[in-house]
């Protein structure tokens, strides 16, 4: 299966508030993650994720002192 070039990652809103979910679009890079799957990142390079061909997501820290949250959904984009 050929991996998608872009994904929309949906993250939960701030707990205890009425904040909407955040959606971040990430694009495939030439890198592979620790699991051997493609690495995707947003335009800023801050949001980075390894996404398998079955849609499993592993968030990757792009800098020190980060503790990335898991998205609730990873949806491939055309």
Whole-angstrom distance, CA of residue 7 vs CA of residue 34? 19
* Region for 35 from its dihedrals, namely left if φ exceeds 0, alpha if ψ lies in -120 to 50, beta otherwise: alpha
In this predicted model, what pLDDT tens digit does every residue of 18-73 receive, in sequence order?
A: 778 889 999 999 999 999 999 999 999 999 999 998 889 999 988 777 777 778 78
Q: Taking the model in full, what pTM does it have?
A: 0.84
* Whether 38 contacts 3, CB under 8 Å: yes
* pLDDT confidence band for 1 (50 / 70 / 90): low
Give the distance, in angstroms, between the CA of residue 53 and the centroid of all CA atoms in the same chain. Answer: 13
pLDDT of amino acid 15? 73
Surface-to-core class of residue 58, CB atoms within 10 Å of its CB (0-12 exposed, 13-18 middle, 19+ buried): middle
């Amino acid at each position: 299966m050929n991996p998608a070039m872009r994904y929309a990652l949906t993250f939960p809103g701030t707990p205890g508030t009425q904040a909407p979910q955040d959606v971040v679009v990430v694009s495939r890079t030439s890198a592979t993650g620790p699991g051997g799957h493609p690495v995707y990142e947003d335009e800023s390079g801050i949001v980075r994720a390894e996404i398998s061909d079955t849609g499993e997501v592993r968030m990757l820290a792009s800098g020190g002192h980060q503790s990335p949250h898991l998205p609730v959904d990873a949806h491939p984009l055309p």
